[in-house]
Amino acid sequence: MRDIGLHLRLKSSLVDLVHTAYELQIPIFQCFLISPSGFLLSPSEEEIVQIYPKMQSFAQRYLHASYWSNLASVRHTKHRVLMKELDLARRLGFTHLVMHPGSAKGALNQKEGIDAVARILNTLLQHETEVKLVLENVAHGNMSVGGNLQDFKLLLEKIDKPEHIAFCIDTAHAYSYGYDLSSKDGMERFIHEIQTTISIQKIALIHLNDTYDSLGSKRDRHAAPGDGKIGEDALRHLVLDTRLRGIPLLLEPPELNQEELWVLKQNIMQWHNE
Ligand SMILES: [Zn+2]
């Protein structure tokens, strides 16, 4: 059975969020560690002890790093927040830390940004092998790193322990960046691009999203799968592709209530049963 999960919003506590994941009967989930008031969570030792065993009943637990860290920055290179998130990820029992590479704004060229991302990842990898580091492709262009999958190919060449780095493919971001996933041919070209850059083996996760934004718009407004420009047929084609079938799927829809999330997850599960 394929793992299909949801991004959950932290409304009160992490314990409540994990409880919601239970109720939704999802084997995997993802969340930010940002409180509703906009601060990085700082759970007490007591809370950590309480939550850790509860986390273990989910096959994979993805912590999405906040957007405060710009890994591709050539100016701000200390990344204290990211370090703290990685530390929390390990102590709370997350299996993966999902990161956007960021933008090389202020650098001479985008390549300097890729170098900066490699530097911070190599630093993190010196201490961390428990939580898998996952880089996600993004919708943005120009000086942003990770819109074009070729960026990740270049990045991998600069990583000391590439076996500890994995990738997340977000379908909405790929489309907004300019990969036309809405047609069968376009989807084939995209899978071929994956094979020749990061390889399918290095994909840890697919963020299965549709988008309200048009092809190449470089904008990022997620829609539920089938509700946007990529469309249900094409997304179904992608997730049922035999080469990608073992990769977990995670949905990041716009704000929905628990009942709507349940229905959405059931729909995607249904694709696999037809
Ligand atoms: Zn995503």
Each residue of 250-272: pLDDT tens digit?
999 999 999 999 999 999 999 99
Angle (deg, nearest 10), helices 232-239 and 258-273:
60
161 C-alpha to center of ligand 1: Å? 24
Q: State whether the Cα torsion 181-186-188-190 is positive or negative.
A: negative
**CATH number reported for the structural domain that contains residue 73 in this entry:** 3.20.20.150
Distance 255 CA to ligand 1 centre (A): 14
Q: Give the pLDDT score at 134.
A: 98
pLDDT at 76 exceeding the cut of 90: no
Give the pLDDT score at 239.
93
Q: How many angstroms does the Cα of residue 112 sit away from the middle of ligand 1? A: 24
DSSP lists the bridge partners of residue 206 as 169, 249
Our CA angle for 161, 53, 58, nearest 5°, is 65
**Spatial separation of the C-alpha atoms in residues 226 and 68, rounded to whole Å:** 30
Domain that holds residue 208: 4-273
Give residue 185 CA to ligand 1 midpoint distance, Å: 23
User: Ligand 1: distance of its center to the CA of 46 in Å?
Assistant: 31
CA distance 175 to 136: 14
Task: Label residue 273 by pLDDT band (50, 70, 90).
Answer: confident
How far is the centre of ligand 1, averaged over its atoms, from the C-alpha of 199 (Å)?
A: 19
Chain centroid offset of residue 221 CA? 15
Span 36-47, average pLDDT: 93
**Percentage with pLDDT > 70 across the chain:** 100
Q: Looking at residue 106, what is its pLDDT?
A: 87
What is the percent of the chain where pLDDT is above 90?
93
Predicted confidence (pLDDT) per residue in 234-250, tens digit: 999 999 999 999 999 99
Structure tokens at 266: 């059931």
Q: Give me ligand 1 centre to Cα 79, in Å.
A: 21
Give the distance (Å) from ligand 1 centre to CA of residue 237.
Answer: 19
Question: Rounded to the nearest whole angstrom, what is the distance from the C-alpha of residue 160 to the centroid of ligand 1?
Answer: 26
Average pLDDT over residues 143-161: 97
What's residue 163's pLDDT?
A: 93
Range 102-120 average pLDDT? 95
Q: Average pLDDT, whole number, for the chain?
A: 95
Mean pLDDT value of segment 228-236: 96
DSSP one-letter string for 133-176? EEEE--S--TTBSSSSHHHHHHHHHT-S-GGGEEEEEEHHHHHH
pTM for the full model? 0.96
Beta strand spans in 27-91 (E): 28-31, 60-64
CA of 169 to the centre of ligand 1 (A): 7
For the cut 90, the answer to whether the pLDDT of residue 139 exceeds it is: yes
Cα(173) to centroid(ligand 1), Å:
7
> Residue 258 region, left (φ>0) first, then alpha (ψ -120 to 50), else beta?
alpha
Give the distance, in angstroms, between the CA of residue 218 and the centroid of all CA atoms in the same chain.
17
CA of 172 to the centre of ligand 1 (A): 8
- Distance between Cα 170 and ligand 1 center (Å): 5
Average pLDDT over residues 59-75: 95
Does residue 129 have a pLDDT over 90? no
| Residue 178 pLDDT > 90 | yes
Q: How many other β-carbons are positioned within 10 Å of the β-carbon of residue 269?
A: 14
Cα 32 to ligand 1 centre (Å): 12
Rounded average pLDDT over 189-216: 97
Predicted confidence at residue 127, as pLDDT, reads: 85
- Whether the predicted pLDDT of 82 surpasses 90: yes
Q: How far is the CA of 263 from the centre of ligand 1 (A)?
A: 20
Give distance in angstroms: CA of 251 to centre of ligand 1: 8
> Cα separation of 28 and 59, whole Å?
6
How many domains does the chain contain in total? 1
- Residue 99 Cα to ligand 1 middle (Å): 9
With a cut of 90, say whether residue 128 has pLDDT above it: no
